[in-house]
Amino acid sequence: AQRVTQPEKLLSVFKGAPVELKCNYSYSGSPELFWYVQYSRQRLQLLLRHISRESIKGFTADLNKGETSFHLKKPFAQEEDSAMYYCALLFGGGYNKLIFGAGTRLAVHP
């Protein structure tokens, strides 16, 4: 069955520290993976997608098919990075269904 697992509910770091938010997936086909972010009182928005292989706000994520992982990384956390982060898998099957993990709350302290 298709599934996305984010093992940490909360990740707490100090400003300037490296950040890694973990995401593992279970999918039999070729996965298309995303990271969505939700800042306080804002709507859920796309942060990055693996097919674009770009860095957004200093965040990167690499798809590792061998480990079925798509971890989100940033070398130096900023206070404005504090938010809820969701990893999502696109289940094609003829329609666009996103399967989300439970989310990780990132708290960056000054």
Partner 1 sequence: DAGVTQSPTHLIKTRGQQVTLRCSPISGHKSVSWYQQVLGQGPQFIFQYYEKEERGRGNFPDRFSARQFPNYSSELNVNALLLGDSALYLCASSLSSEAFFGQGTRLTVV
Residues of this chain that bind partner 1 (CB under 8 A): 4, 6, 32, 34, 36, 43-46, 49, 86, 88, 90, 93-103
Which amino acid, residue 19?
A: V
> At closest approach, how far in Å is the CB of 33 from partner 1?
11
> At closest approach, how far in Å is the CB of 48 from partner 1?
11
Measured distance CA(67)–CA(62) in Å, rounded: 11
- DSSP structure class, residue 85: E
Query: Cβ closer to partner 1: 2 or 15?
Result: 2
Q: β-strand 97-100 against 45-49: which pairing, if any?
A: unpaired
